[in-house]
Structure 1
Amino acid sequence: MDRFVTNATRASNFLKAISHEGRLMILCHLVSGEKSVTELEELLSLRQAAVSQQLSRLRLEGLVVPRRDGKTIYYSLADDRPRRMLETVYELFCKDS
């Protein structure tokens, strides 16, 4: 039973993390590969503070990982979970029937 509760908590945290439109869009952009914070700002038309706040939440949930190159920070997907989830979202909401 403890394992079930632990898995339910992990799943709930994952769903909360992707329930924000900005975080979901960040994950969508990272599916195609690593992006710098500046690139994400431009792609999302958001200020650096807003992008950084959303990346912080995604990092906390273990969905993205940072890489520093000098003063530039790049982010990529931590594993395949977001990609698989986005494929499901696409099938449910974006694919023409």
Structure 2
Amino acid sequence: MLKVDIDTKMKFMHGFSHKTRIQILECIKENEKTVSQIVEDIKGNQSNISQHLACLKGCGLIVGRQDGKYVYYRVRNQLVRDLLTMFDVVLEDVQNDIASCKSHID
């Protein structure tokens, strides 16, 4: 079994711990997009989206490709897309428990 440092694992999981970052990941899950396209799709503001893109890139979840004056962002690879899909599969099974969890803080 792979041995991964727990601190590194937590930094990786941090990429998934904010609503805007999840929205961005879902937005670019299938197709690469520019910041402007992401802002339009998720109805955010450019500065905030750019900060979250930097976090996602730092966590290794997305990559950027420069094309002229635009940077196109996409999910890093199929493994990350599969992980996003797996979240949905697991959540379908446990969503009622999560909704009623008294320990969950928004």
Q: Bin the TM-score by the shorter chain.
A: 0.7 to 0.9
Q: Report the alpha carbon displacement of residue 94 of structure 1 after superposing the two structures with TM.
A: 4.7
Q: Give the aligned residue type for 1:60.
A: G
Q: In the alignment, what sits opposite 1:34?
A: 32
What are the ranges of 5 or more consecutive residues in structure 2 without an aligned counterpart?
94-106
Question: Which protein is bigger by CA-based radius of gyration?
Answer: 2
Mapped to 1, the partners of 2:89 and 2:80 lie a distance apart of 14
Q: Report the alpha carbon displacement of residue 93 of structure 1 after superposing the two structures with TM.
A: 2.8
Structure 1 runs (4+) greater than 4 angstroms displaced = none
* Alignment RMSD: 1.8
Q: Report the alpha carbon displacement of residue 18 of structure 1 after superposing the two structures with TM.
A: 0.7
Q: In the alignment, what sits opposite 1:51?
A: 49
- Identity over the aligned pairs, expressed in percent? 29
Q: Give the aligned residue type for 1:48.
A: Q
Instruction: Verify the 8 A CA contact 2:14 2:59 in the aligned structure 1.
Output: no
Change (3 A) 1:94 1:38: farther
What are the ranges of 5 or more consecutive residues in structure 1 without an aligned counterpart?
none
Tell whether 2:80 aligns with 1:82.
Answer: yes
